[in-house]
Amino acid sequence: MIGLTSLIPASIPSPDPAWDHFTIGPITIRTYALCILLGIVIAAVWTSRRLTKRGAEPGIVLDIMLWAVPLGIIGARAYHVFTHPADYFFPGADLWKTLFIWEGGNAIFGALLGGAVGAIIGCRMSGLRFWSFADALAPGLLLAQAFGRLGNYINHELFGLPTDLPWGLQIESTNPAFPAGLPDGTLFHPLFLYEMIWNVVGVGVILFLERRYHLRWGTAFGVYLIWYGAGRSYLESIRIDPSEYSFLSIPSNVWAAFAAVLLGIIVILVQRRRHPGLEPSVYRPGKAWRGPQDDDVDSQFLDSEVAAESLSPEAAAESPTSTATSS
């Protein structure tokens, strides 16, 4: 027992600062940026496969990502800078640092807002239903966020209040976010790890509920908003470096998390009331319906048949499935 106990680490060490970047010739590559990029790639590939199984054209997700990713990055950085003005706007400050996303400081709520705007634009141009895209994206988005939090760990950021738990995170006292007055060697809650675990569990929750209740019309994305907002509201409440703005002594990021939960509930209630039937197609009415592109032809066809039966006679007559079966 004593030997086993000695193998259990007493804390989580922060990675060597040299890990935060590496160079290839004259080019410096930030590990944090690679973590974000890896998350984006994983989310894009998974979302593309999910959309294709539902009848979308293979690769169409790239048309949406071309808008969603850049606007999401801009929104993430803008939200962070706006909620941490003292870090960037002071006498003698280098204002160019407001653009240095590779140094950390990207807010997921800003990314969601900016990315949503980009996704809406991309969906309008490609003919996809926005809510169909959002549902397909939901689990991949949570997984991408988990990879992004790994970048926070490498950057020695996103940690919480002091703790004496065996999984406490070691943070050097020279860290700008290290609270004044605390002794060297103080351990902190590893919020990056908590959120990674919460997100991965959330992926399983979304997939389970999706299969159990056949979530469509944006309801899977509603589950994402509720799950992520609920977890983030707690994590932000014990964070060392919360946003500088607060209302009723509650940081703005906690309010944003509450807003995400509320929005998710509204989306589910409204969409289930407006669309009690299954989705007949991931494309908007009037757009070309490509049909399934993989081996799941029979199940896709049956789903479309059920969707047509769940619509009113008038709507069913106008649906792509009824047109295909009557010809």
Residue 287 above 80 pLDDT? no
Is 104 in a helix, a strand, or coil? coil
Average pLDDT, the chain: 81
Angle at the Cα of 168 from the Cα atoms of 259 and 246, rounded to 5 degrees = 30
Angle at the Cα of 102 from the Cα atoms of 254 and 138, rounded to 5 degrees = 50
**pLDDT tens for each residue of 186-211:** 999 999 999 999 999 999 999 999 99
Is 28 in a helix, a strand, or coil? strand
**pLDDT tens for each residue of 42-62:** 999 999 999 999 888 888 899
Exposed/middle/buried for residue 71 (C-beta within 10 Å: 0-12, 13-18, 19+)? buried
pTM: 0.79
Task: Look at the alpha carbons of 105, 110, 111, 117 in this order and tell me if their dihedral is positive or negative.
Answer: negative
